[in-house]
Structure 1
Amino acid sequence: MYAVIKTGGKQYRVTPGLRLKVEKLTGDVGSDVTIDQVLVLADGENVTIGAPLIAGASVTAKVLSHGRGDKVMIFKFRRRKHYRKTQGHRQSYTEIQIADFGGASTKPAKAKAAKAKAAE
Structure 2
Amino acid sequence: MFAVIKTGGRQYRVAPDDVLEVGKIEGEVGSIVQLNEVLVVGGDTPILGLPTVAGASVAVEVLDHKRGPKVIAFKKRRRKNSRRKRGYRDEITVLRVSEILTDNAKPTKGPRPKKEKVAKEATKEDAAA
2:26 alignment partner in structure 1: 26
> Counterpart of 2:57?
58
- Does 2:10 correspond to 1:10? yes
Measure how far apart 1:69 and its partner are.
Answer: 0.7
Match for 1:31: what amino acid? S
Q: Residues of 2 paired with 1:52 and 1:31: CA distance?
A: 28
Structure 2 residue runs of 5 or longer lacking an equivalent are 105-129
> For the Cα contact (< 8 Å) 1:63–1:94, is it kept in 2?
yes
CA distance, structure 2, for counterparts of residue 95 and residue 26 of structure 1: 12
Q: Which 5+ residue runs of structure 1 have no aligned equivalent?
A: 106-120
User: C-alpha displacement at 1:43, in angstroms?
Assistant: 1.3
- SS of equivalent to 2:95: strand
Structural RMSD (CA): 1.1
User: What CA deviation, in whole Å up to 9, does each residue of 1:29-80 have, x standing for no partner?
Assistant: 0001100000000112x00000111111100000000000111111011112
What is the count of residue pairs matched by the alignment? 104
Aligned amino acid, residue 70 of structure 2: K
Matched, 1:75 2:112: no
TM-score by length of 1: 0.84
Q: Name the aligned partner's letter for residue 2 of structure 2.
A: Y
| Residue type of the alignment partner of 1:56 | G
1:100 positional shift = 0.5
Q: 2:112: which partner in 1?
A: none
Residue in 2 that maps onto 1:100? 99
Residue 4 of structure 1: CA displacement?
Answer: 0.1
| Contact 1:54–1:104 (Cα < 8 Å) also in 2 | no
Q: Percent of aligned pairs with the same residue?
A: 46
Deviation at 1:24, TM superposition (A): 0.3
